[in-house]
């Protein structure tokens, strides 16, 4: 690996260190699902609700296919994220 490769690996490690910590949900926990979408992308986050805050448990996102992006209304795109 060249010098630039080491630099990129260090940058990647720093990004990973700063990722949100994920909570572990229990069966009795209250869970919330948040979605967001635009013409091209979608995202979903599953949150665990405590008495004082919300903690992320899982998150994911992706890109719509060209056909989905052209045909689906924004409501369908948001629902797809669920």
In this structure, is residue 64 part of a structural domain?
A: yes
In this structure, is residue 16 part of a structural domain?
A: no
Integer Cα distance of 41 and 9 in angstroms? 27
Give the count of domains, the chain.
Answer: 1
Structure confidence by residue, pLDDT tens digits, 43-80: 999 999 988 999 999 999 999 999 888 899 989 998 88
DSSP 73: -
Structure confidence by residue, pLDDT tens digits, 16-49: 888 888 999 999 999 999 999 999 999 999 999 9
In this structure, is residue 5 part of a structural domain?
A: no
Give pLDDT, residue 40: 92
In this structure, is residue 8 part of a structural domain?
A: no
CATH number at residue 41: 3.10.20.370
Q: What tokens appear for 38 in the block?
A: 């635009």
In this structure, is residue 1 part of a structural domain?
A: no
Integer Cα distance of 32 and 34 in angstroms? 7
What is the extent of the structural domain holding 73?
A: 22-80
Integer Cα distance of 75 and 73 in angstroms? 5
pTM above 0.75, yes or no: no
In this structure, is residue 9 part of a structural domain?
A: no
Do 36 and 78 touch, CB atoms closer than 8 A? yes
In this structure, is residue 50 part of a structural domain?
A: yes
Integer Cα distance of 45 and 40 in angstroms? 18
């Amino acid at each position: 690996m060249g010098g630039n490769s080491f630099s990129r690996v260090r940058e990647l490690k720093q990004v990973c260190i700063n990722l949100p910590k994920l909570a572990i949900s229990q069966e009795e926990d209250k869970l919330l699902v948040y979605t967001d979408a635009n013409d091209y992308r979608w995202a979903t986050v599953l949150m665990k609700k405590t008495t004082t805050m919300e903690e992320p448990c899982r998150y994911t996102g992706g890109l719509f296919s060209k056909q989905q992006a052209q045909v689906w209304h924004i409501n369908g795109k948001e629902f797809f994220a669920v």
